[in-house]
Amino acid sequence: MKRIKYQADIDSQTLETLQAGMLGWYRQYGRELPWRQTRDPYAVIVSEIMLHQTTVNTVVPVYLRFMEKFPTVFDLASAPLEEVKHITDPLGYKVRGQWLKNIAEVIVTEHEGEWPKTLEGWMALPGVGRYTAGAVLSFAFEQDAAILDTNVRRVLGRYFGIAYRETRAEVVHRLWALAEAIVPKGEAFHFNQALMDFGAMVCTARHPACTICPVVDQCVTVGEGVPEAAAEEVSAYTIRTRADP
């Protein structure tokens, strides 16, 4: 069956407020993290796999240890799996070590050490989904790729008034359409980092700091007076979408 694609139609003021607000906030408050100091795809994919279902503070020391032990994709590809998992398993979600090892082996044996530069190429790698592929493309290659992790879902869901915790395909497609539509041209690296940090530090799951939010005046959830504890239950879609054949 042909997949339906949704294209978000957002008014210019709503879009510009979000873009300017996130970028301005990030310039002042964005976190300085070790994997943000490089554009090496290897370092970025290692960080993204480690960050699955784990907090940033937990990942940082493990990431630094991992990169010291396996500084290149070739080092990782040739390493025994037990050595890899010895470092990654304490993070929990123990499949991540296997994923990193498998990715390295594919890159070295099938791509001669060259990393993909397309969404499809990244999603063909073991354990890499749409979010991770978009993250690497925007953070390592500075392409205008979209991301949609838990923090970004929450920020967009509240700002645009979408029941972001629902798992129905329609909701997921709409959120991805939004994520793709809002990336400022040439600013994906900073904008995507901003969305993630903002969701982790300000627009948090519990007790969001709405009083210091730079885009609160355009936030549908706040504007409609929806209690924060029930923000995920907002059911009315306040953006217009159309299904393209």
Give the residue numbers annotated as catalytic, written as ranges.
48
Distance of CA 174 to the CA centre of its chain: 16
**156, 227 contact by CB (below 8 A):** no
Cα dihedral sign, 136-134-55-127: negative
Angle value at C-alpha 228, between 237 and 178, nearest 5 degrees: 35
Strands 5-9 and 240-244: antiparallel
Closest CA relative to residue 62, chosen from 47, 52, 72, 81: 47
**CA 50 – CA 59 distance, rounded (Å):** 6
Closest CA relative to residue 64, chosen from 25, 82, 38: 38
**CA 165 – CA 215 distance, rounded (Å):** 21
**CA 235 – CA 116 distance, rounded (Å):** 38
**CA 82 – CA 88 distance, rounded (Å):** 10
